[in-house]
Amino acid sequence: MILCAQDINKFFYTQNGKQIEALKDVSLSVRKHEFVAIVGPSGCGKSTLLNVLAGLYEPDTGQVLINGSPSRSSSVKRGHISQADTLLPWRTIMENVELGLEIRGMAKKERREIAAMLIKQVGLGGFEKSYPFELSGGMRKRAIIIRTLAYAPEIIFMDEPFVGLDVQSRDELMDDILKLWQETKKTILFVTHDLAEAITLADRVILMSARPATVKAEYLVSLPRPRSVAEIKFTPQFIQLHKRIWRDLSNEVMKSYRNEASS
Ligand SMILES: Nc1ncnc2c1ncn2[C@@H]1O[C@H](COP(=O)(O)OP(=O)(O)OP(=O)(O)O)[C@@H](O)[C@H]1O
């Protein structure tokens, strides 16, 4: 196991002192090279869980181990891709993609080679000298993803990276992620509210309950790889699995509505 979370509990406090229980007794583990998607009702605690797993938030109780060491002090290189557009507007695409390598002190020639290879791999060749504002939303997301891949993290945490993209750009980006994952076999933890996205990409889908989030169920996605985003959703296995998880997810969404109505 590359990542192991045991009995995680996490609370927040609002400005008027109200306690919000975000995570309750969450335990899960992730194998090296595995692609795991986390789904659940809106507001259940998915992002909080990802941030705790990535070591960005300290849990109130429980622990997260990455390669056997506490997540916050582990030396395992990790990448984090959030919903936000985090490209630096004053740097070209090449300069953005090589940013992590530059911070780590890699020589210019070497980092340019790595960045140029990744830029070509995701079809951004020709845009090396462009600035982020000159690219479409999908192209910018691609640049963000390869900027993370450039410094070769062992494990990547992705929080709804396709938010705000149109369907076509999202599908293209999913194909890119599938291809890059197939080639690099990184360990990926991916949070999404879109079940089809989760099944298309992942080896395993973890369903979180309505808040406070606990692990409600896990589903193995044994669809063959390589996968094509355009075709996979029409296969009987995909439809069957989607129906099964959808039923369980809908129950949690209804619970979440009821909780909101009664609070
Ligand atoms: N920094 C914070 N301070 C206070 N409350 C917070 C904080 N971060 C999250 N919360 C609360 O914790 C709960 C879980 O939030 P979280 O963002 O993890 O859910 P989510 O499942 O990722 O939501 P969505 O699907 O809408 O993105 C929510 O009730 C949210 O308001």
Atom nearest to 48 CA in ligand 1: 18
Mean pLDDT of 135-151: 92
pLDDT tens for 62-97 read 999 999 999 888 889 999 999 888 999 999 999 999
42 CA from centroid of ligand 1 (Å): 9
pLDDT value at residue 143 = 95
* CA–CA distances in Å: residue 61 to residues 31, 56, 64, 191: 23, 15, 10, 22
20 CA from centroid of ligand 1 (Å): 9
Query: Considering the domain boundaries, does residue 10 fall inside one?
Result: yes
Looking at the structure of the chain, the number of domains it has is 1
SS3 state of residue 202: coil
Query: Considering the domain boundaries, does residue 31 fall inside one?
Result: yes
Q: What's the CA gap between 101 and 151, in Å, rounded? A: 6
* Residues having CB within 6 Å of any atom of ligand 1: 12, 20, 22, 40, 42-48, 193, 211
Taking CA atoms only, the protein residue closest to ligand 1 atom 20 is: 43
DSSP codes of every residue in 122-157: TT-TT-TT--GGGS-HHHHHHHHHHHHHHT--SEEE
48 lies in which domain range? 1-76+156-161+187-223
Taking CA atoms only, the protein residue closest to ligand 1 atom 2 is: 12
Query: Considering the domain boundaries, does residue 21 fall inside one?
Result: yes
Least confidently predicted of 26-35, 141-150, 199-208: 141-150
Q: What's the CA gap between 79 and 154, in Å, rounded? A: 8
Whether the per-residue pLDDT at 263 is higher than 80: the answer is no
Atom nearest to 45 CA in ligand 1: 18
Q: Is the pTM of this model over 0.90?
A: yes
Query: Considering the domain boundaries, does residue 148 fall inside one?
Result: no
Query: Considering the domain boundaries, does residue 256 fall inside one?
Result: no
Mean pLDDT (the chain) is: 93
CB 84 within 8 A of CB 127: no
Beta partners for residue 65, in sequence order: 4, 70
pLDDT value at residue 240 = 97
pLDDT value at residue 125 = 95
Atom nearest to 160 CA in ligand 1: 27
pLDDT value at residue 185 = 87
pLDDT value at residue 235 = 97
Query: Considering the domain boundaries, does residue 4 fall inside one?
Result: yes
Q: What's the CA gap between 182 and 184, in Å, rounded? A: 6
56 CA from centroid of ligand 1 (Å): 14
pLDDT tens for 12-50 read 999 998 999 999 999 999 999 999 999 999 999 999 999
pLDDT tens for 98-127 read 999 999 999 999 999 999 999 998 899 999
DSSP codes of every residue in 78-106: EEEE-SS----TTS-HHHHHTHHHHHTT-
For residue 196, the domain's CATH number is 3.40.50.300
Query: Considering the domain boundaries, does residue 36 fall inside one?
Result: yes
Atom nearest to 193 CA in ligand 1: 25
Query: Considering the domain boundaries, does residue 6 fall inside one?
Result: yes
